[in-house]
């Protein structure tokens, strides 16, 4: 490898580290992203042009076309996608990265004279293929679950055992190939298929609420796949870049688990089990009280402190802009308004902040859970819009609940609670919420956008 290319890779690696570091602070995040992106661009250009291989023009043309096509598609997806679809998008892109690693492994397996290649290189190739295939199909499965096209959460008995036996079988087949050095494309494709099937099996039983954790985990796996391919080519930028993503991804995964009070093991091996149907729970918990937009508007108009608790339902109804209008209107009437943002509000950590930022909500009006929880005592009205599990008191007082122990927003401490929901359906975790049956709670049924628009017009008339 030429010295120039080595230096380029070194620079790119440093930009990755600096970029990730800067991404961790709100003020520098944007420049961090740009720095990492330019380092990546440098590494790509360097790889194409700086080498001493005799490469026919047609190959350059093909590489150029591939890069052009991929860039245009990637760019278009990135600028068109709705911010609510962010978790789906991350998992889709991640799946592409995994597929790329698997394809590289497949080609290298074909190119290598396996019987004459050292076992450690064969093992590296096979590892890239298996991990790449798992992240590809696992990410697509997560994508399907998030956008609702894959609905079923299959829970067959002993699922985990079946799953584990399957992956052990795949690894055993790989080990057999490494040990014997058999150059068999049939066995190779069996391995690819095994990885693909395991990716599906792995994500299938995991419940919707845990999906962000899975995406973060798969993201970290793609990093590891990239690093393994880096070992294969003795390529430092791939190796370090991949390991950085791998270890950072694991830490991020653990941070998300902590925010939901789940262990990684319980996310992977024990999916949420719904406790009783919503119907039976309704009877057990008592009656609900519903209210109207005009009553709520009056209540808010004469309140001193109002806290808005936004959830994913808000984003689904595309009501971020209306809620911003409501908040501005209340502020102009002298009401002290804040947003309480749960760390996992939305579909992944920090997602709600992105969604509200999109509709121009002031940064300092978003208060994080630990800071806002003591303030609910002095709050006159809490307006919960499209949030459910993150305000479920069962997390505090029902040890049998699957979300028991998860830190929640203590909205029940407020004087009045207004909950906007489309219906009495259960939340993402699939469990009932006793908050709705609280004597202080009034339900404001309807589509979030319509209800909020009504609230705004009622308030304007006061």
- Positions marked active-site: 389
Confirm or reject binding of residue 56 to other proteins (CB under 8 A): yes
Confirm or reject binding of residue 199 to other proteins (CB under 8 A): no
Sole binder of other proteins in the list 195, 343, 402, 407 (CB under 8 A): 343
Cβ proximity to other proteins: between 349 and 386 the closer is: 349
Min CB(116)–other proteins separation in Å = 16
List, in order, residues 6 or more apart from 239 with CB less than 8 Å away.
227, 230, 231
Three-class SS of residue 417? Answer: strand
Cβ proximity to other proteins: between 47 and 379 the closer is: 47
Confirm or reject binding of residue 413 to other proteins (CB under 8 A): no
Sole binder of other proteins in the list 88, 90, 211, 311 (CB under 8 A): 90
Show contacts with other proteins in window 63-82 (CB under 8 A). Answer: 63, 65-67, 69-71, 73-75, 77-79, 81
Cβ proximity to other proteins: between 165 and 172 the closer is: 172
- Distances in whole angstroms, Cα of residue 296 to Cα of each of 299, 381, 420, 455: 5, 9, 11, 7
Confirm or reject binding of residue 431 to other proteins (CB under 8 A): no
Min CB(446)–other proteins separation in Å = 28
Three-class SS of residue 321? Answer: helix
Show contacts with other proteins in window 368-387 (CB under 8 A). Answer: 368
Sole binder of other proteins in the list 84, 88, 106, 177 (CB under 8 A): 106
Structural tokens at position 150:
């894959």
Show contacts with other proteins in window 2-21 (CB under 8 A). Answer: 16-17, 19-21
| Separation of first and last alpha carbons in the chain | 74
Confirm or reject binding of residue 116 to other proteins (CB under 8 A): no
Min CB(192)–other proteins separation in Å = 11
Q: Are 356 and 394 in contact (CB under 8 A)?
A: no
Rounded Cα gap, residues 355 and 346, in angstroms: 9
Show contacts with other proteins in window 245-284 (CB under 8 A). Answer: 245-252, 255-256, 259
Confirm or reject binding of residue 23 to other proteins (CB under 8 A): yes
**Which of these ranges, 152-160, 217-225, 301-309, 384-392, lies near other proteins under the rule CB under 8 A?**
217-225
Confirm or reject binding of residue 216 to other proteins (CB under 8 A): yes
Rounded Cα gap, residues 28 and 300, in angstroms: 37
Rounded Cα gap, residues 204 and 202, in angstroms: 6
Sole binder of other proteins in the list 127, 177, 239, 429 (CB under 8 A): 239
DSSP 306: E
Q: Where are the alpha helices (DSSP H) in 234-309?
A: 236-259, 264-269, 278-285, 293-301
Size of the site for other proteins (CB under 8 A): 112
Confirm or reject binding of residue 24 to other proteins (CB under 8 A): yes
List, in order, residues 6 or more apart from 390 with CB less than 8 Å away.
309, 311, 342, 344, 345, 408, 409
Sole binder of other proteins in the list 4, 7, 10, 62 (CB under 8 A): 62
Closest listed residue to residue 257, CA positions, set 325, 343, 137: 343
Sole binder of other proteins in the list 7, 34, 162, 193 (CB under 8 A): 34
Rounded Cα gap, residues 431 and 174, in angstroms: 42
């Amino acid at each position: 490898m030429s010295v120039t290319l080595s230096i380029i890779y070194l620079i790119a690696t440093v930009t990755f580290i600096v970029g990730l570091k800067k991404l961790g602070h709100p003020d520098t995040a944007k420049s961090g992203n740009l720095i990492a992106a330019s380092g990546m661009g440098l590494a790509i250009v360097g790889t194409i042009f700086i080498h001493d291989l005799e490469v026919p023009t047609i190959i350059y043309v093909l590489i150029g076309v591939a890069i052009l096509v991929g860039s245009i598609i990637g760019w278009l997806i990135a600028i068109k996608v709705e911010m609510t679809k962010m978790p789906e998008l991350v998992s889709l892109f991640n799946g592409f990265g995994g597929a790329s690693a698997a394809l590289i492994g497949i080609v290298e397996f074909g190119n290598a004279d396996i019987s004459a290649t050292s076992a450690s290189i064969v093992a590296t190739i096979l590892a890239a293929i298996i991990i790449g295939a798992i992240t590809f199909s696992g990410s697509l499965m997560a994508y399907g679950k998030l956008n609702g096209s894959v609905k079923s959460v299959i829970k067959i008995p002993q699922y985990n055992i079946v799953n584990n036996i399957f992956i052990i079988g795949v690894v055993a087949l790989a080990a057999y190939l490494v040990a014997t050095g058999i150059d068999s494309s049939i066995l190779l494709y069996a391995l690819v298929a095994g990885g693909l099937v395991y990716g599906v099996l792995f994500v299938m039983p995991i419940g919707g609420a845990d999906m962000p954790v899975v995406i973060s985990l798969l993201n970290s796996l793609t990093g590891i796949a990239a690093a393994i391919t880096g070992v294969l080519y003795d390529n430092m930028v791939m190796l370090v870049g991949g390991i950085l993503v791998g270890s950072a991804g694991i830490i991020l995964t653990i941070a998300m688990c902590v925010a939901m009070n789940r262990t990684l093991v319980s996310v992977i091996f024990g999916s949420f089990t719904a406790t009783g149907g919503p119907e039976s729970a309704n009877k057990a918990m008592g009656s609900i009280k519903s209210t109207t937009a005009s009553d709520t508007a009056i209540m808010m108009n004469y309140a001193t402190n109002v806290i808005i608790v936004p959830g994913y339902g808000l984003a689904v109804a595309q009501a971020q802009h209306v809620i911003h209008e409501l908040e501005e209107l209340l502020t102009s009437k002298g009401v002290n308004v804040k947003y309480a943002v749960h760390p996992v509000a939305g579909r992944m950590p920090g997602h709600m902040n992105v969604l509200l930022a999109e509709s121009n909500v002031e940064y300092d009006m978003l208060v994080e859970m630990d800071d806002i929880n003591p303030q609910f005592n002095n709050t006159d009205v809490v307006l919960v819009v499209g949030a459910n599990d993150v305000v479920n008191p069962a997390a505090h007082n029902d040890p049998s609940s699957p979300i028991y122990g998860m830190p929640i927003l203590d909205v029940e401490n407020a004087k009045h609670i207004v909950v906007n929901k489309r219906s009495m359906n259960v939340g993402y975790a699939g469990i009932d919420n006793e908050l709705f049956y609280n004597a202080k709670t009034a339900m404001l049924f309807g589509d979030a956008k319509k209800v909020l628009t009504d609230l705004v017009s009622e308030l304007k008339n006061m």
